[in-house]
Amino acid sequence: MKWKTTALCLPLAALLCLDGCTLAPGYARPEAPVPDAWPSGPAYKTQKPDPTVVADIPWQEFFVDPQLQKLIALALQNNRDLRVAALNIEKTRALYQIQLSELFPNVDLSGSWSKQRQLLPGNSVPDQTITTKRYNVNLGVSSWELDFFGRIRSLKDQALEQFLATEQARRSAQISLVAEIANTYLTLAADQEQLKLSQDTLETQQTTHQLIQRRFEVGASSELDLRQAQTRVDAARVDVARYITLVAQDKNRLNLVVGSTVPPELLPQALSETLAAVKDIAPGLPSEVLLKRPDILAAENLLKGANANIGAARADLFPRITLATNIGTTSSELSGLFKPGSDTWSFAPQIVLPIFDAGAGRANLKAAEVDRDIAVAQYEKTIQTAFREVADALAQRGTIDEQLAAQQSLTGATATSYRLSQARYEKGVDSYLTVLDSQRSLYGAQQGLIATRLTRLLNLVTLYKVLGGGGEVAPASQTP
């Protein structure tokens, strides 16, 4: 039975000899086409050195509001986009396993039985026939390619990088989801506060209108004052209706991104109650962002996959060797299948050498090389986009505190102006037009203060997102 052992061991020995063979070019990470430091200037405030990498800060530590934390946890369980991203990982893992299996021989066990009736040799009389039976059992390898030039191994590497890129895409989806939940939650809080402000303003305007109505009836106020008061009532009614719509739409959007109906106790009531919902962070160095952002890591995985695909295209230009081996037993009787002398075997190597293909092989290699160059350009563009996103967020962060301080001062000044103008009107010193103008200025300043506070919080969320925060930190190398 020595020959049987030899026939089975040949494929395994060949596999061990070919381990690591590939014609793919050596990979070198392209230089990042961005500066080594973030932009500086009037729009950027000086940042203190911070060794903490933002991408390493879990979202539970950045978003400190308990209601917001519960919403994010609920969304990570129910959001359908994130579920699709996770399923894509499972799909690419299966595709990688399929490609990996090509490195190994497929061993099949087959059995057959046949029965045949035929004329005896040298006879043409119909009665002189013979019936034969044949039983066969075979174990063998059919058409297994010996990967001498690394074609299959390069395709396996390409499939692995595709899997890793899909995992990074899932991390990107989670980061975007966490940021979207926070943005929607804060926007809903701001619109709730704007609605409350417009309702309070409407109530004040209605009270004022009623007062002027009585003054008009006794001749103490003009019809112009009455009509001007009515315009403020109507304007406030418009704002109330508009913010009721916005609040409803914000809730609908929150339900969508969470993936289920949000419990009422998790909904914010006012932005002023969520001003400390997020922590302040420092951006760190550009190199840290480039290493941690999953979209950049995914772009590099795709670049590595394109590089491996060149190895497969090169290998297509060389001979391809396949093996087919088979051992078994055959007999005319079922009981004789495993008796001495019934064994059979076959060993059939085949080599295919490309001679003429009208340039198809070279064109395929050229296409693979161009795909690699495209992947390089896309990788560099991803880095540049990431740099721009962080720089934009830092530019807004550098000035938003000053804007907020100015808006708070403006709101205080207009509130004082409104009180003074109201007192002067009641004493007959000024016309109602002055009061109307002060009311309009105060209302606008209060709306602006809510909007500026929202902008500051959204800027912190954006900065956390573009610095790669909000997704689990994946290991540098992961194999399915």
Distance CA 225, CA 435 (A): 10
d(CA 373, CA 113): 57
Residue type, 72: I
Residue in 339, 328, 337 with CA at minimum distance from that of residue 110: 328
List the structure tokens of 252: 């609908």
- How far apart CA 89 and CA 172 sit, in angstroms, is 13
In the prediction, which pLDDT does 351 show? Answer: 84
| C-alpha–C-alpha distance, residues 101 and 103, integer Å | 5
Which range, 214-218, 414-418, 431-435, is most confident?
414-418
Q: Are residues 139 and 290 in contact, defined by beta-carbon separation less than 8 angstroms? A: no
| pTM (two decimals) | 0.84
Residue 448 pLDDT more than 70? yes
pLDDT bin (cut points 50, 70, 90) of residue 143 is: confident
Residue 196 has pLDDT above 70, yes or no: yes
End-to-end CA distance of the chain: 39
DSSP track, 158-170: HHHHHHHHHHHHH
Alpha carbons within 13 angstroms on the beta-carbon side of residue 419 total 5
| Distances 373 to 30, 299, 310, 368, 460 between C-alpha atoms, Å | 11, 13, 11, 9, 36
Are the beta carbons of 242 and 24 closer than 8 angstroms?
no
pLDDT band with cut points at 50, 70 and 90 for residue 125: low
What distances in angstroms separate CA 88 from CA 78, 91, 308, 472, one per listed residue?
16, 5, 22, 17
Residue 46 φ/ψ, nearest 5 degrees:
-65, 130
Confidence of residue 240 (pLDDT cuts 50, 70, 90): very high
Contacts of 219 (CB under 8 A, 6+ apart): none
pLDDT at position 458: 95
- Inter-residue contact 260 to 254 (CB < 8 Å): no
pLDDT given at position 456: 95
Helix (H, G, I), strand (E, B) or coil at 367: helix
Look at residue 7 in the predicted model and tell me its pLDDT: 45
Select the more confidently predicted residue: 286 or 203: 203
What per-residue confidence (pLDDT) applies to 36?
A: 85
Is the pLDDT at 122 greater than 70, yes or no?
Answer: no
Answer yes or no: is pLDDT of 221 > 80: no
| Nearest CA among 268, 208, 273 for reference residue 236 | 208
Residue 16, pLDDT > 80, answer no
> Encoding tokens for residue 162?
């595709």
pLDDT at 307 over 80: yes
Read off the amino acid at residue 384.
Answer: Q
Amino acid at 285: L
Given pLDDT bands bounded at 50, 70 and 90, which one contains residue 6?
Answer: very low
Q: Spell out the alpha helix ranges (H) of 2-79.
A: 2-18, 59-62, 66-78
Considering Cα of 14, then 15, then 16, then 17, what sign does the dihedral take? positive
For residue 475, give the 3-state DSSP assignment: coil
| Per-residue model confidence (pLDDT) at position 245 | 97
Helix (H), strand (E) at residue 32: none
Distances (CA, A) of 224 to 231, 236, 296: 11, 19, 64
Q: Average pLDDT in the 49-64 region?
A: 83
